[in-house]
Chains A and B, each alone.
Chain A
Amino acid sequence: MVCMKVHLPNSAFLGNIDPFLRNFDNSNTAKLKITANKKWISIHPVVLSMIASLGLTVKSSNIQCEKLEAASKHYLERMGLFRFLNIESEIVIKEHEPAGRFIPLTKIDNSEELTKFITNMIPLLHLESKQAELIKYIVSELVRNVLEHSRSENGAIVSAQYYKKSNTIRIGIVDTGVGIKSTINMSHNAPTDLEAIRLAQIPGITGATRREGGTELNAGAGLFFIRSIAKVNRDFFMVYSGDAMYKLLKSKAGLKRIRLHADPFKDRHSKGEKFPFWQGTIVGIDISLDSTKEFSILLDLIRDTYIKTIRERRKARYRRPRFI
């Protein structure tokens, strides 16, 4: 059968997600076949958000999910994957099974739903106020990006999970909209998806205008802030759109002073092109609660980098009269 194929692997987190992304088969967008590792499935919420988003683009009668055998299959049920796909899982959740700290797959279509989601999210994750600040900030900015720019008919698909062993919150936010390249190219000229992903993370660059300072509603700062949060906390951050993927890698431990960069390619990262084409945008982020810095300290670093970047751009544009 020619169809989109997704195989849930033994493990797919931001650090090792590349093989999963490379193997996703999107050859026929009308049908979806889901298979899984037989023994164990341990996946980042961004993978769940991806599959749920795909499910929203395909009729449930055209979704085929093999009978799952892995012991961890209950996790997929708890996160609401089968509800999203509108298919029967035959997985029964027993009352005594621990719920953990997670945000099940949620579709957010508008501003009011986002506000309600954020209000309900923090108690579910049992976060302290300092940690809650960062998570609220990240989710708000990323989901608003989707609502304002993606033109997705399916809104933003969000899920999150707390991992006790690493004391980390992992978040996935996915849309099936126009993608970053289409949005950025409304005002800039990004020849590739990867270049569009790069530009979208540089402070002050927005698809809404070429003017410095942005428009009344957009400054082009959102993704720069989020990447900066991940960098300062030494966490992973991934953006995948079209056929390209950018991943901020963890900063090396032991560095006393972390320096922010306006250009994401100057940070320690991996990137790739010719991935299976994703119509829309995928963002995954980890926030390690052990290393969470005070948000206000982080803002000082962001302010310095932001202003330096604008001054450099202004200097680059400055033209002197030529006297002959």
Chain B
Amino acid sequence: MIEIKLLPIVGSFAENKDLARDIRLKKIIHALEDKQEITLDFDGIDLTTQSFIHALISDLIRKYGIDVLDKLYFKNCNETVTKIINIVVDYMQERE
């Protein structure tokens, strides 16, 4: 299990999609390829955007299937962050 603390990378407003993509490509995918589980720690993140969460996780679902969520944990999410993550996961599961 690896844990990625997002606050030091993206700040309290997680909106920079370039950083989201970097985290996915350089950290999450590496861990998944090593058969590790990943915790994304949103401690200190007050707000995020749908675009950021989409850039962070949508391609994981696209490439690894929805089962990737069994290896991905979202920690310390406030209510708004939780709802935005749920929206992205919902529409990625609803697509064909």
In the complex formed, the residue of A with least CB distance to B86 is A303
Chain B hits for A214, CB < 8 A: 54, 58
22 contacts between A and B (CB under 8 A): A111-B16, A111-B17, A115-B11, A115-B16, A118-B13, A136-B47, A140-B51, A141-B49, A141-B51, A211-B95, A213-B95, A216-B55, A217-B51, A218-B51, A218-B54, A221-B91, A295-B47, A296-B80, A302-B87, A306-B87, A310-B91, A311-B94
How many interface residues does A have (CB within 8 Å)? 38
From B50, B79, B96, contact of A296 by CB (8 A): B79
From A118, A306, A317, contact of B90 by CB (8 A): A306
In the complex formed, the residue of B with least CB distance to A306 is B91
* Across the A-B interface, the 7 shortest Cβ-Cβ residue pairs: A212-B95, A213-B95, A216-B59, A299-B83, A140-B15, A310-B94, A296-B79
Q: How far is the CA of A302 from the CA of B50 in the complex (A)?
A: 11
Whether, in the assembled complex, A172 has its beta carbon less than 8 Å from a beta carbon of chain B, the answer is no
Chain A hits for B16, CB < 8 A: 111, 114-115
Chain B hits for A136, CB < 8 A: 13, 15, 47
Query: Is the Cβ of B91 less than 8 Å from the Cβ of A222?
Result: no
Q: How far is the CA of A140 from the CA of B11 in the complex (A)?
A: 14
Q: How far is the CA of A133 from the CA of B80 in the complex (A)?
A: 10
Given contacts A216-B58, A216-B62, A299-B80, contact A137 B17 (CB under 8 A): no
Whether, in the assembled complex, A151 has its beta carbon less than 8 Å from a beta carbon of chain B, the answer is no
11 new A-B contacts at CB < 8 Å, known A114-B16, A216-B58:
A140-B49, A144-B17, A213-B95, A216-B59, A217-B17, A217-B21, A225-B50, A295-B80, A307-B91, A310-B91, A314-B96
Whether, in the assembled complex, B84 has its beta carbon less than 8 Å from a beta carbon of chain A, the answer is yes
Task: List which A294-320 residues lie within 8 A (CB) of chain B.
Answer: 295-296, 299-300, 302-303, 306-307, 310-311, 314, 317
Chain B hits for A218, CB < 8 A: 51, 54
Q: Which interface class (under 10, 10 to 19, 20 to 34, 35 or more) fits B?
A: 20 to 34
Chain B hits for A314, CB < 8 A: 94, 96
Task: List which B42-56 residues lie within 8 A (CB) of chain A.
Answer: 46-47, 49-51, 54-55
From B47, B55, B88, contact of A133 by CB (8 A): B47
Chain A hits for B13, CB < 8 A: 118, 136, 140
Whether, in the assembled complex, A178 has its beta carbon less than 8 Å from a beta carbon of chain B, the answer is no
Query: Is the Cβ of A137 less than 8 Å from the Cβ of B47?
Result: yes
Whether, in the assembled complex, B6 has its beta carbon less than 8 Å from a beta carbon of chain A, the answer is no
The secondary-structure label for the interface of chain A is: helix
Chain B hits for A225, CB < 8 A: 50
Whether, in the assembled complex, B92 has its beta carbon less than 8 Å from a beta carbon of chain A, the answer is yes
Query: Is the Cβ of A299 less than 8 Å from the Cβ of B49?
Result: no
Task: List which A165-205 residues lie within 8 A (CB) of chain B.
Answer: 203-204
In the complex formed, the residue of A with least CB distance to B24 is A216
Query: Is the Cβ of B94 less than 8 Å from the Cβ of A115?
Result: no
Q: How far is the CA of A213 from the CA of B83 in the complex (A)?
A: 17
Whether, in the assembled complex, A219 has its beta carbon less than 8 Å from a beta carbon of chain B, the answer is yes
Given contacts A118-B13, A204-B91, contact A137 B49 (CB under 8 A): yes
Given contacts A219-B58, A299-B87, contact A118 B50 (CB under 8 A): no
Chain A hits for B90, CB < 8 A: 303, 306-307
